[in-house]
Amino acid sequence: MPTLRGNCLMGQSGGPTAVINASICGVIQEAMKHPEIEGIYGAQHGILGVLEENLIDLRRADPKEIELLKSTPAAALGSIRHKLPRPEEGPSEYERIFQVFDAQNIRHFFYAGGNDSMDTINKLSAYAAKVGYELRAIGIPKTVDNDLAGIDHCPGYGSVAKHIAAITMGVGLDMQSVHLTDPVVIMEVMGRNAGWMTASSALARRLDGDAPNLIYVPEAPWDRARFLDDVKRTHAEHGWCFIAASVGTKDESGEYLATQKGDFATDAFGHVQLGGVGLFLESLVRGELGLKTRLVRLGPAERVAMHFASLTDRDEAYQLGAFAVRSAIEGVTAKMVSLERTSSDPYRCDLTYTDLDVVANEEKLIPRQWLNGAGNDVTQDFLDYARPLIQGEVPTPIENGLPRYARLREVPVGKKLPAWGG
């Protein structure tokens, strides 16, 4: 494959994770090793930064801050949710992006994100081929949801799983301590279609009766009578009940619990409250069973807990970033770098590639056989899958009692084009 000299550009997209910056660090530190790569640029807020030509020069960032990206959560370059239109529907975005690529001599493009980001890489690669612009574009997977197809697990998932399990363990002990007064805990976990995050709470169990006692995910239809029975039985047996439920838990008819009982699921302005599954279940348990409840709703706090992130996850995120660069140098393009598990015990994942079509258009849900028959728990298969992903802790530099996260000094790359009117 002929050497392709030029500048490289990277961006981040979608919801942040604890380790998406580790992938970016892998891209930057690997890029530094290759003389073919001249400028190393970051797009601010993903594809929006490309459209607006808001690029920063990462060669001029402090190497110590770059290194700190390995232990910094959230998206240091800024993220965005933006789905590219198809070229025939929105040609101006494509024209602009390639004007910027051309003006800035971008020849390697790395985009860390989920389905939409892989769709972006897919569309840009096809467009580049069509217009004859020489570009090597590679997607780097990340998502706490773990719902990407064509990869064993997504970077970002191991850390959120570890954090959710640790919180479950702590809150579970708390519940056991105070169960005579507050016997039921409901933990609402992110995840609209896929229950991977909620399921990870199961890793917290060590002894019989430990939290979580019940797990509800979108993959298994929820039933009101069964739920009340589950809670009643668990409480009778142990004196407490810890419930982990996905935001996207649905009943048999496919309706989200979060939008049921309209009278309390709307706010003062009549807007439907999203993510109200916890409140809904709380009202059922209080109202129908007369038990006291406590609600935990971590929300975005789930995905940023670098103070207890998985080292396995962080290292894989970094390796995928570095592997993307090596692959591009070798001529690979229009692929997502990926992980293929070759063994669970001992755990081993190999670096590989996945076709972007697969990732862009599919969603990986928990296999039904990894959930029990009653649809209120996971099976051993899930635990065997998830346990290796939470191993090890990321060392976090501390300053004055709190993590010292990276702060990139944003040295802009000079703009070569007039402002974008899009």
Is 348 one of the binding residues for a copy of itself (CB under 8 A)?
Answer: no
Q: Is 227 in the site for a copy of itself (CB under 8 A)?
A: no
DSSP classification of residue 368: G
Cβ neighbourhood burial of 40 (10 Å; 0-12, 13-18, 19+): buried
**Rounded to an integer, what distance in angstroms lies between the CA atom of residue 283 and that of residue 281?**
5
Query: For residues 148-177, which are near a copy of itself according to CB under 8 A?
Result: 162, 165-167, 169-171, 173-177
Residue 84 in the binding site for a copy of itself (CB under 8 A): no
Closest CB 53 distance from a copy of itself, rounded Å: 16
Residue 6 CB coordination number (10 Å)? 18
> Which own/partner pairs from 257-265 qualify as long-range (CB within 8 Å, at least 24 positions apart)?
257/222, 257/281
> Which of 245, 317, 356, 390 lies at the binding interface for a copy of itself (CB under 8 A)?
390
Does 380 interact with a copy of itself (rule: CB under 8 A)?
no
Residue in 273, 289, 340, 420 binding a copy of itself, rule: CB under 8 A: 273
Interaction of residue 269 with a copy of itself, rule CB under 8 A: yes
Which of 16, 156, 137 lies closest to 75, judged by CA? 16
96 touches a copy of itself by CB under 8 A: no
Q: Which of 99, 193, 259, 266 binds a copy of itself (CB under 8 A)?
A: 266
- Give Cα 66 to chain centroid, integer Å: 21
Site for a copy of itself in 295-314 (CB under 8 A): 295-301, 303-308, 310
Binding mask 279-298 for a copy of itself (x = CB under 8 A): xx-xxx-xx------xxxxx
Question: Taking contact as CB under 8 A, which single stretch among the options 95-103, 128-136, 275-283, 354-362 is the one that binds a copy of itself?
Answer: 275-283
Shortest Å distance, C-beta 421 to a copy of itself: 18
Please report how close the Cβ of residue 124 comes to a copy of itself at its closest, in angstroms.
Answer: 20
Q: Is the dihedral of CA 285, 291, 292, 297 positive or negative?
A: negative
Residue whose tokens read 């939290």: 211
Q: What are the CA-CA distances from residue 360 to residues 15, 140, 147, 318, 364 (Å)?
A: 16, 13, 11, 22, 11
DSSP for 257-326, please give it. Answer: GGG-SHHHHB-TTSPBPTT-HHHHHHHHIIIII---EEEEE-GGGGGG-GGG-BHHHHHHHHHHHHHHHH
CB of 265 to a copy of itself, least distance (A): 8
Phi, psi (degrees; rounded to nearest 5) at 88: -75, -20
Q: How far is CA 202 from each of CA 1, 43, 166, 390, rounded to the nearest angstrom? A: 47, 38, 10, 12
Q: Does 244 bind a copy of itself (CB under 8 A)?
A: no
The alpha carbon dihedral of 64, 70, 72, 78 has a sign of positive
- C-beta of 187: minimal distance to a copy of itself in Å? 8
Q: Which two tokens stand for residue 83?
A: 């789905």
Nearest 5°: the CA angle 16, 34, 415 is 60
Q: Would you count residue 15 as binding a copy of itself (CB under 8 A)?
A: yes
Q: Tell me which H or E stretch contains 344.
A: strand 335-344
Task: Based on the shown chain and the rule CB under 8 A, indicate whether residue 209 belongs to the binding site for a copy of itself.
Answer: no
* Least distance to a copy of itself, CB of residue 396, Å: 9
The residues assigned a catalytic role are 145
Does residue 272 bind a copy of itself (CB under 8 A)? no
Q: Which of 118, 204, 317, 359 binds a copy of itself (CB under 8 A)?
A: 204
- Residue 173: CB minimum distance to a copy of itself, A: 4
Buried (b) or exposed (e) across 163-182, using 16+ Cβ within 10 A?
bbbbbbbebbebbbeebeee
Among the residue ranges 124-132, 244-252, 326-334, 385-393, the one whose residues contact a copy of itself (CB under 8 A): 385-393
Omega of the bond leading into 403 within 30 degrees of 0 (cis): no
Nearest-approach distance from CB 197 to a copy of itself, in angstroms:
15
Closer to a copy of itself at the Cβ: 194 or 281? 281
Segment near a copy of itself (CB under 8 A); pick from 28-36, 75-83, 109-117, 225-233: 75-83
Q: Quick check: 259 binds a copy of itself (CB under 8 A)?
A: no
* Binding-site member from 400, 418, 419, 421 for a copy of itself (CB under 8 A): 400
